[in-house]
Amino acid sequence: MKIVFIGGGAMGEAMVRCLLTKKVASPQDIVVSDISPVRRELLSREYGVSTLDDNRKAVTSADLIILAVKPQNLPEVMEKIKGLAPEQLVLSIVAGATLSSLCQGLNHSSVIRAMPNMPAQIGEGMTIWTATTETERKQKELAQTVLRALGKEIYVTEEKYLDMATALSGSGPAYVFLFIEALVDAGVHIGLPRNVAQELVIQTILGSAFTVEKTGKHPADLRNMVTSPGGTTTEALLQLEKGRFRSLLLKAVAAAYKKAKRL
């Protein structure tokens, strides 16, 4: 199997690392084409993969071509590599690039569009993906194996869900990082040493997320279990409700979705 990356930046590197760590591919299976000599040198030194600065040459005889350049570089890349064989599969992680624009730009029909998120950099990502109807079952299985190496993946038949997921899981890590930062600051404000506050917050968030996942209970039921009548938690929740915490989150995600649709 030959996997070719067009773009070996932050996400390209993360994908290479995950593919190798999870033993989905070996360095001999991977070629990275990137215009940056610095990136090429780093990727071949760190991961032992082949590198090139010629996108056209790189895609020759590739089974899977992963497009991992910034949206503004996509048109030039598509122009260079178009004329692929029908059995070659293209997987794009380029934000905002729709299946129809990819198919049109590449004059190719076996195309997958995926939206990973930043924790993919440590193999804990959440990726949502879709494929053209022309993409064969075996090709989808290959894409799924590759995306699983980045963390969890979910396949949807409706492409519109990718823009929605961009606002939820794509931008989501930024909301969670802000929440973590604010909660740690709150701990410091009431007198905890910063390192202690940070450890308490991180494990509280991890533990709570795992509890929702493992018990399958509704988050409101779990919240009620932590909220004793007349206790401390209800005092804090009152302040969050007064500050319109939920509706603020809803508005934030809706604003990100509106922007994602315009990309």
Ligand X SMILES: NC(=O)c1ccc[n+]([C@@H]2O[C@H](COP(=O)([O-])OP(=O)(O)OC[C@H]3O[C@@H](n4cnc5c(N)ncnc54)[C@H](OP(=O)(O)O)[C@@H]3O)[C@@H](O)[C@H]2O)c1
Question: Which residues bind to ligand X, rule: CB under 6 A?
Answer: 6-12, 33-36, 39, 55, 68-71, 73, 76-77, 93-95, 115-118
Residue 78: CB partners within 8 Å, gap ≥ 6?
102, 105, 106
Establish how many alpha carbons lie within 13 A of residue 77's alpha carbon, considering only the half-sphere containing its beta carbon.
26
As a whole number of angstroms, the distance between CA 89 and CA 39 comes to 24
When the beta carbons of 64 and 197 are compared against ligand X, the nearer one is: 64
Question: Angle at the Cα of 181 (from 231 to 232), degrees rounded to 5?
Answer: 5
As a whole number of angstroms, the distance between CA 62 and CA 76 comes to 19
Structure tokens at 17: 């690392």
Helix, strand, or coil (residue 240): helix
When the beta carbons of 128 and 197 are compared against ligand X, the nearer one is: 128
CB of 154 to ligand X, least distance (A): 15
CB of 172 to ligand X, least distance (A): 11
When the beta carbons of 52 and 222 are compared against ligand X, the nearer one is: 52
When the beta carbons of 126 and 197 are compared against ligand X, the nearer one is: 126
CB of 209 to ligand X, least distance (A): 20
As a whole number of angstroms, the distance between CA 16 and CA 32 comes to 9
Q: Which residue is nearest to ligand X (CB)?
A: 9
CB of 49 to ligand X, least distance (A): 14
When the beta carbons of 166 and 187 are compared against ligand X, the nearer one is: 166
CB of 3 to ligand X, least distance (A): 15
